[in-house]
Structure 1
């Protein structure tokens, strides 16, 4: 049985990734800075394949936390895969964006991916596992034409580049590293962003939501399941010769 750690899995996309992987037979360690949310998410996972899912409290920007979780899982269960999904966002015009907000965004969204990827890869190399790592970037990691999210854009461009660097250096150890680039995903985070953007535009959240739908050629908001299925593909055998990629999952909202 293969074991995967998913960060930021107490809610949103991460929780759906954990659920999808469990349904496909993975043993999942649900990690989140909110221990109660992680525990609740783990308790609700499918265990029909005989899995024993677990939860862990994890601050992704803490090297000690990341090493503790990665080494514990590697030693007890075997660490086959790691999904660095935890992330944050807020919205503000570039000219008014506080540097403290910028620092916090990069701390979680970019430093967190570096810290967790390093801990996971070290544990895999130490235990001889030819594993896989998936990092959550964004279509905002491929284009700067995203209003009110300059800090987020910077962090996600960083994730795409970091993924390539990790893939290049970890290939000799048989560890594959890829990233995913979702679009307008319907989550609690998106609800907050709708309200923020509506305020900044001087309109209503429903009007902003329609702008996002109109910007998506497939004509609907993305669902967390759309993202989770691609993560499952990247962790599976069908992508065994893929590494360093940034896969767009956005319904055509941005094509490269």
Structure 2
């Protein structure tokens, strides 16, 4: 097998067909990374990849990828590690659904934990194994949430549970993978303007007997920097965590929320 090209660092980004994932892929590409764009929405992944700059001779890649498919995660991590060299894996894919705690169904709870936590565990495991096998001292970044640090979030009990789990998992991964010089951190966004947020505006408005406009303003009012967060705000933080500048940072949960939650 041909040894992977080590002159260009390669990152896999999950959930990169839109929103925060697309911004992460775009920012990494702008900073000289080759990006493997993945999403369960294959068309969205293709659109993201088509808009990326750089990528070296081989260019950027994309594929439809279901993060809940553990065997596919292993195959993807091994393939990238062997062909390109796996330097970073960003577990960004996630879901949310708003409902009062007493009304959350077992199906909704299972879906939240399956995608937001279990997939992060096994995708991270696949990435770590591939990095260790190929001797790569890489980085793993998990997308958590401001809701990973506080339960005072309305109508998102199952989401909160999953994201608290991501924060703890990040620390456990960082501790065990440190001997392999693999850093593991997470980012904790706040009120990010994405398609997911647009749905949450409608859900929270209905559950709180308000309007989407009033909910949106309440989110801005809760953010000291006085605006909703952009996907690029998160992407720049992720780019830092996979950079050499963050080489001695591991096990951290970086709040990127304009001061909406401070710890």
Corresponding residue to 1:64 among 71, 86, 101? 71
Query: Does 2:73 correspond to 1:52?
Result: no
Q: Is the 8 A contact 2:201 2:215 kept in 1?
A: yes
Q: 1:80-127: CA deviations, max 9, x gaps?
A: 000000000000000111111000000000001001100000000010
Offset of residue 203 of structure 1? 1.2
Offset of residue 58 of structure 1? 1.2
Aligned residues: 256
Q: Which residue of 2 aligns with 1:196?
A: 203
Offset of residue 61 of structure 1? 1.4
Corresponding residue to 1:39 among 37, 41, 46? 46
Q: 1:39-62: CA deviations, max 9, x gaps?
A: 111111012765600002211111
Q: Is the 8 A contact 1:26 1:51 kept in 2?
A: no
**Greater than 2 Å deviation, 4+ residue runs:** 48-51
- Aligned residue for 2:68, secondary structure, equals coil
Once residues 36 and 252 of structure 1 are traced to their aligned partners in structure 2, the CA distance between those partners, rounded to angstroms, is 35
The TM-score, its normalising length taken from structure 2, stands at 0.96
Query: Does 2:209 correspond to 1:174?
Result: no
Q: Which residue of 2 aligns with 1:217?
A: 224
Alignment of 1:62-141 (within 5 A): 62-141=69-148
Query: Does 2:40 correspond to 1:27?
Result: no
Once residues 234 and 220 of structure 1 are traced to their aligned partners in structure 2, the CA distance between those partners, rounded to angstroms, is 24
Q: Which residue of 2 aligns with 1:16?
A: 23
Q: 1:176-235: CA deviations, max 9, x gaps?
A: 000000000000000000000000011110000000000001110000010000000000
Q: Is the 8 A contact 2:12 2:36 kept in 1?
A: yes
The TM-score, its normalising length taken from structure 1, stands at 0.98
Structure 1 pair 171–55 and aligned structure 2 pair: CA distance change class (3 A): same
Q: Is the 8 A contact 1:56 1:69 kept in 2?
A: no
Once residues 236 and 50 of structure 1 are traced to their aligned partners in structure 2, the CA distance between those partners, rounded to angstroms, is 22
Once residues 195 and 155 of structure 2 are traced to their aligned partners in structure 1, the CA distance between those partners, rounded to angstroms, is 18
- Aligned residue for 2:141, secondary structure, equals strand
Once residues 34 and 58 of structure 2 are traced to their aligned partners in structure 1, the CA distance between those partners, rounded to angstroms, is 5
Q: Is the 8 A contact 1:25 1:51 kept in 2?
A: no
Q: Which residue of 2 aligns with 1:226?
A: 233
Root-mean-square deviation (Å): 0.9
Query: Does 2:163 correspond to 1:156?
Result: yes
Once residues 57 and 120 of structure 1 are traced to their aligned partners in structure 2, the CA distance between those partners, rounded to angstroms, is 17
In structure 2, list runs of 5 or more residues that go unmatched: 1-7
Once residues 208 and 240 of structure 1 are traced to their aligned partners in structure 2, the CA distance between those partners, rounded to angstroms, is 39
Corresponding residue to 1:239 among 229, 246, 249? 246
In structure 1, list runs of 5 or more residues that go unmatched: none
